[in-house]
Structure 1
Amino acid sequence: MFVLELTYTAPLEAVDAVIPAHVAWLDEQYASGVFLASGRKVPRDGGVILAAGEDREEIERLTATDPFVAAGVCAYRITEFLATKTAPALAGYRQQPPS
């Protein structure tokens, strides 16, 4: 499981100009089952995405396709963690620590 933290690197006007493309990209990731939750940070200086993926390299390749990245308006910080406990609705995403 991954926490993707976006930090805006450009003024909000530049970010807002790319939001329609970014939202379409988010919709694709939700449809593929990779993204589980997302939203703006408060205060609005970026966003957070909860993602399920096989490995870090896969997630790095995916985030590189975000229109925000192509437009140069954000930077990603990727944190991998083992989701060993979840809400019942996310039970399918529970992970076991390595032996």
Structure 2
Amino acid sequence: MASFIVSLTYIAPIDKVDALLDEHVAWLRAQHAAGHLLGWGRKVPREGGVILARGESREAVEALASQDPFVKGGVARIDVIEWAHGFLDDSIAGLAG
């Protein structure tokens, strides 16, 4: 399994984003329970978010991320970045898969 950073950038006004927030969080939790997502949070300032994911390929993670209600709802775009960790602190060693 490879590790990925999914960067979401809002492309709609924040009230449109907030209208999909509960659905987005439910999707995040479901994907975490399924073992695909390891963590997430908002960017500061609030112009998007970051999701830590793992998957078999960039294409698989892109396909998964495209199902995010923010993306499907047209309020965010995604950029999927694969990364090879050179070092992980013990507190986040789970990212290694």
TM-score by length of 1: 0.88
Secondary structure at the counterpart of residue 35 of structure 2:
coil
CA distance in 1 between partners of 2:6 and 2:61 (Å): 9
Over aligned residue pairs, what C-alpha RMSD do you find? 1.4
Q: Which has the larger radius of gyration?
A: 1
What is the letter of the counterpart of residue 41 of structure 1? Answer: K
User: Runs ≥4 in structure 1, deviation > 3 angstroms?
Assistant: 89-93
Higher relative contact order (CA 8 A, sep 6+): 2
Corresponding residue of 1:57: 59
Long gaps (5+) in structure 2: none
Contact conserved, 1:6 with 1:74, CA < 8 A, in 2? yes
CA distance in 1 between partners of 2:29 and 2:92 (Å): 19
Contact conserved, 1:36 with 1:51, CA < 8 A, in 2? yes
Contact conserved, 2:38 with 2:95, CA < 8 A, in 1? no
Secondary structure at the counterpart of residue 20 of structure 2:
helix
Contact conserved, 1:85 with 1:94, CA < 8 A, in 2? no
Long gaps (5+) in structure 1: none
Deviation at 1:67, TM superposition (A): 0.6
CA distance in 2 between partners of 1:90 and 1:60 (Å): 23
More strand, by proportion: 2
Corresponding residue of 1:10: 12
Identity %: 47
Contact conserved, 1:84 with 1:94, CA < 8 A, in 2? no
